[in-house]
């Protein structure tokens, strides 16, 4: 009897694993599974490096070399969920950062945002919007 015959379809026991942001996704999938996809059988969920206090993370990342990635995550969420009214959540400086990071590649958004500008000293290799 072929093994794959027993490992196909929604009744196949499935394990989820995620780290950091992936941990959040794995946890949410586990929480939603009974209502959203009751036909799936989760055998277990492993979540590591779970960002437990997002307010703390936001305060610690602010002004540092990864601040743009945090803003980039917010841009991605706003694009995925257009109902998020970023105009009411951001001040003028936040709106500027949102617009800048929303048009950049990850190489630029990793740059130090303490000055409020990209700060990259070398062009990215993979995008056409980066200055050459």
How do residues 58-106 score in pLDDT, each as one tens digit?
778 777 777 777 788 888 888 888 898 888 888 888 888 888 888 777 6
Q: How far apart are CA 126 and CA 112, in angstroms?
A: 19
pLDDT(119) > 50: no
Q: Is 84 helix (H, G, I), strand (E, B) or coil?
A: coil
Q: pTM of this prediction? A: 0.48
How do residues 99-109 score in pLDDT, each as one tens digit?
888 877 766 65
Label residues 11-33 b or e (16+ Cβ within 10 Å = b).
eeeeebebeeeebbebeebeeeb
């Amino acid at each position: 009897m072929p093994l794959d015959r027993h490992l196909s379809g929604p009744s196949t026991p499935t394990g989820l694993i995620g780290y950091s942001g992936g941990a959040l996704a794995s946890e949410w999938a586990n929480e939603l599974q009974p209502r959203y996809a009751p036909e799936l059988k989760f055998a277990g969920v492993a979540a590591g490096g779970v960002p437990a206090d997002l307010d703390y993370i936001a305060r610690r990342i602010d002004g540092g070399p990864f601040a743009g990635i945090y803003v980039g995550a917010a841009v991605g969420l706003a694009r995925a969920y257009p109902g998020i009214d970023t105009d009411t959540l951001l001040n003028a400086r936040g709106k500027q950062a949102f617009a800048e990071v929303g048009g950049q590649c990850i190489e630029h958004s990793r740059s130090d945002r303490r000055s409020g500008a990209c700060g990259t000293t070398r062009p990215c290799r993979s995008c056409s919007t980066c200055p050459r």
